[in-house]
Chains A and B, each alone.
Chain A
Amino acid sequence: MSRSPSLPFKNDPPRAGEIDRGAARDKVVVGVADLAVVRDATKSIVTYALGSCIGVTVYDPVAKVGGMLHFMLPESTVNAEKALANPAMFADIGVPLLFQKVIEAGARRERLIVCAAGGAEVLADDGHFRIGSRNRTILRKIFWKQNLLLAADDTGGQHSRTLTLRLADGVINIRAQGKETQLWPH
């Protein structure tokens, strides 16, 4: 039997929208049902614990403007009050808001590199809920309607993911199952 009484904790998580200055590079943290748009090439944007939720990143490599959305559910019709209070909770109103905010911050739509991660599913969901896959489906529909292409995505499965967008060069990393991989550029 092994014990780990002194196993260190990870740093306390900064609150959503705060800058994590303890990290090697300043990070803007996007919470669950939250979005952030940043125009500062020294920073990264990160979101933790993407399960069935999906993280969407947009990045303009010329303006060095980037944004990230962490939405929970596909459609805002499920809870109109929450949708009004926090549009970032839902894909159908959160994704357009992300694009609006990043363009307001100086990005150009035609230059945007769009990526996504998350959309995991609980085991043996017999089709009743499938929140992860319905999140993935609505994202594809939104991009189809907007005539946008996903540059890269890492979705599905059962594991939780941490998604990071580095604004200096647009590199997107995913940490899952104890491993870090680069999602973009391929």
Chain B
Amino acid sequence: MATLNDALATLDTLPALPTTSIQLVGMLASGGREADLREIEAIIRHDESIAATVLKLANSAAFSSPGRTFSLGESVRRLGSRTLCRIALETQVSGTLANAGRSYGLRRGSLSQCAAGGALAADTLARRHRIDPELCFVAALLRDIGKLAIDALAGPEALEQIAAQADARPFLAYEREAFGADHAELGGILCERWGLPSEICGAVRGHHEPPSHPASAVTDIVHAADCVARWAGLGLGCDGLLYVFDSAARERLHTTRDELEALVADVLSASTPQATRDLHSLRSTA
């Protein structure tokens, strides 16, 4: 059994989020005040996977400027800074999470899909409930980043053995018993160490157990989005559905069954790779 200190020591051994990702989070969280197209273009130029996605989107029907473009600069102009930030950040976080979740029995890429699906759900819910969509999008994208730490702490099949004996308690309780901290808390600490805005750190930390005193609308949205992603079958490992949908958060959001079920259908298409995604969801953010 590991202690909290072991868990915290593990955080030091994890690969850091790319510096450019942290810059992108800052640009999104500032509502565009700190966004600089030239900086974004420079980030994109250094990442082939982002550049390819940007070119493809800029030439899609969703961004209906006439004629094809093979220029990154023209693509940047067509898509706009917010969409570019999102594409770049999502691609980078997807890369960071691609190999995460193995201790939960997840296949390669599953956690990236879950992050993208949850981010779309959070963005949609935030717009409906008039809460900052950029903060909700980023926090939902990063919400399971703490699973990187659990991967480093857990021995082979440790979580499967825990799940095999689990009763009807939340999976976070088993993580705390085994590792001294759960993945949500470790994710929140990682975000703090990376200097991300406090609303994002709080939402990552509370995405399974949203606090009531004081409540955070961003955390409530990310919590609901996480449940939506689980209902869509995204990121389901040996922890399954051993998580609670907090009734107080649901009441604060005034969210309904129909609203969330419609989102369950939507997030499935969002969980496919960015380059092949249905572009309608991006169009609304352009």
Contacts and interface: CB of A to CB of B under 8 A. Distances in A.
A1 B110 CA distance: 26
B70 to A, nearest CB: 29
Taking residues whose C-beta sits less than 8 angstroms from the other chain, chain A's interface range is 35 or more
A157 B110 CA distance: 22
Contact of A5 (B152, B166, B227): B152
A145 interface: no
Contacts of A159: 163, 166, 238, 240-242
B172 to A, nearest CB: 11
A129 B156 CA distance: 35
Given A13-B109, A89-B265, A89-B268, A122 B155 contact: no
B229 to A, nearest CB: 10
A153 B109 CA distance: 30
Contacts of B107: 9-13, 48
Interface string A56-100: 000000000000001011000011001000000100000000000
B240 A51 contact: yes
B21 interface: no
B260 A129 contact: yes
A179 B264 CA distance: 28
Contacts of A158: 166, 168, 240-242
B236 A51 contact: yes
Contacts of A121: 241
B22 interface: no
Interface in A129-186: 129, 131-132, 157-160, 177-179
A53 B243 CA distance: 16
Contacts of B158: 2, 4
A179 B244 contact: no
B216 interface: no
Contacts of B170: 123
Contacts of B154: 2, 4
Given A10-B105, A13-B107, A72-B232, A126 B247 contact: yes
Contacts of A102: none
| Consensus secondary structure, chain A interface | loop
Contact of B108 (A12, A79, A160): A12
Contacts of A124: 244-245, 247
Contact of B161 (A70, A89, A157, A178): A178
Interface in A1-25: 1-5, 7-13
B102 A9 contact: yes
B230 interface: yes
B96 interface: no
B219 to A, nearest CB: 17
B268 A72 contact: yes
B238 A177 contact: yes
Interface string B214-243: 000000000000010011111011111111
A141 to B, nearest CB: 18
A5 B15 CA distance: 13
B264 A72 contact: yes
Interface in B231-286: 231-234, 236-245, 247, 250, 257-258, 260-262, 264-266, 268
Interface in B55-104: 99, 102-103
B2 interface: yes
Interface of A: 1-5, 7-13, 32-33, 48-53, 70, 72-73, 78-79, 82, 89, 120-126, 128-129, 131-132, 157-160, 177-179
**5 closest A-B pairs by CB:** A178-B160, A2-B155, A159-B240, A160-B240, A160-B236
Interface of B: 2, 6, 10, 99, 102-103, 105, 107-110, 151-158, 160-161, 163-164, 166, 168-170, 227, 230-234, 236-245, 247, 250, 257-258, 260-262, 264-266, 268
Given A9-B107, A12-B107, A123-B170, 10 more contacts: A11-B107, A49-B236, A51-B240, A72-B232, A73-B261, A73-B265, A78-B261, A78-B265, A89-B268, A123-B168
27 contacts: A2-B155, A4-B102, A4-B156, A5-B152, A9-B102, A10-B105, A10-B107, A10-B108, A11-B107, A32-B233, A51-B236, A51-B241, A52-B230, A79-B262, A79-B266, A89-B268, A122-B245, A123-B244, A128-B247, A129-B260, A131-B264, A158-B166, A159-B242, A160-B238, A160-B241, A177-B238, A178-B238
